[in-house]
Amino acid sequence: VFSHIVRAPEDPILGVTVAYNKDPSPVKLNLGVGAYRTEEGKPLVLNVVRKAEQMLVNDRSRVKEYLPIVGLAEFNKLSAKLILGAESPAIRENRVTTVQCLSGTGSLRVGAEFLAKHYHQRTIYIPHPTWGNHPKVFTLAGLSVKTYRYYNPVTRGLNFQGLLEDLGSAPSGAIVLLHACAHNPTGVDPTFQQWEQIRQLMRSKCLLPFFDSAYQGFASGSLDADAQSVRMFVADGGECLVAQSYAKNMGLYGERVGALSIVCRAADVASKVESQLKLVIRPMYSNPPIHGASIVAIILKDRNMYNEWTIELKEMADRIISMRQQLFDALRARGTPGDWSHIIKQIGMFTFTGLNKEQVAFMTKEYHIYMTSDGRISMAGLSLKTVPQLADAIHAAVTR
Ligand code: LMR
């Protein structure tokens, strides 16, 4: 009965790792998936995470019971505080409902399912380009996906005029997906003043913001600075949704820890929204896993552990920033044609190099460097040792 099934293509991002794993070359380099690597090219488990896990193991009172449908209460409270700020009036007034979800993707999906069921507008505007999974998550949840202009390939910066025009002509009430910081894949974010203009335009048209916050602390090294776009929208008293992921900023990729917060205008609304979120979650996966959320809760609630985390987080962010400079210098030293200043201007985990599909394929074939076909490279996968290899490959690809 399944013989008619045709083979599906690999995922455009995770499929890069599949191809990389098949390559027997000893010099192969994976700059595809956004996952942090040390200078030695190894995945990193933060010390503070190891410590929290040790505490979990030592605590014999901990059991493996089901969590509630909405997840670990303490984790939810602390997650809302982390993204909205400890002093957020929305939290104080109990206008926020937060549910633990399966990392960023799961949080987006739960939010999207909720909106498809309960919100009057089914259209969501996503930036062009955006993370490859966004259109699939929203379409499969039942929303209708449209795009707004975001990136200008000529300046390799923001197409702010295009963005304002497209959001300006969106139908009243439409949902708008915003990357809270460190836009994936472009590494291009609006300035503070531009965010303010976006906020005013969106509020004047009653557009509903849905933030994807996957890199808090990773863009600038500061948890507060990377949350400022979200906090601006919450400060005006209006509604918004926020999907948070702890994959990158705590290195908890495979633990699948994230949260969805829905900020409402009144406490009783938030509590009714939560009751409906439970109906969304229960038939999907019943309730979320306990281990990762417990790690996060331990770290966020203890001042010393929290401080330790911010230091390790800043080290990761700083290493990525230094890789940008190294790559930029290496291309300059080679006299590689083109203006590569966007490598140091873009922020977050990725550089959107501007390399085309053919150039990417050439670099993979000749230099065993793996990256997504849109020319995005994960700066977090680079090291001092591998920068020259990448610079040689880029140089060869653009001078071919
Ligand atoms: C990425 O964009 O590489 C990450 O967000 C990982 C993923 O799931 O795609």
d(CA 362, CA 368): 9
Q: What is the residue type of 141? A: A
Residue 113 region, left (φ>0) first, then alpha (ψ -120 to 50), else beta?
alpha
Q: Can you give the residue ranges of every domain in the chain? A: 14-45+313-399, 73-301
- Mean pLDDT across the stretch 273-284? 98
- What global pTM score does this model have? 0.96
Q: 83-100: per-residue pLDDT in tens?
A: 999 999 999 999 999 999
CATH superfamily of 14-45+313-399: Aspartate Aminotransferase, domain 1 (3.90.1150.10)
Distance 60 CA to ligand 1 centre (A): 36
Hey, what are 251's tokens? Answer: 């290195």
Other Cβ atoms within 10 Å of 385 Cβ, number: 11
Q: Look at residues 361, 383, 348 and name the one whose alpha carbon lies nearest to residue 188.
A: 348
Nearest CA to ligand 1 atom 1: 34
Hey, what are 81's tokens? Answer: 């505080």
Architecture of the domain spanning 73-301: 3-Layer(aba) Sandwich (3.40)
What pLDDT sits at residue 7? Answer: 97
DSSP symbols for 313-365: HHHHHHHHHHHHHHHHHHHHHHT-SS--THHHHS-SSEEE----HHHHHHHHH
248 has catalytic annotation: yes
Q: 96-128: per-residue pLDDT in tens?
A: 999 999 999 999 999 999 999 999 999 999 999
309 has catalytic annotation: no
Pairing mode, strands 208-213 and 240-245: parallel
- Mean pLDDT across the stretch 270-280? 98
- Residue in the block written with tokens 């390790």: 312
Task: Catalytic residue, from 166, 189, 226, 248: name it.
Answer: 248
Pick from 11, 13, 36, 248 the residue to mutate for probing ligand 1's pocket: most ligand atoms within 8 Å of its CB. Answer: 13
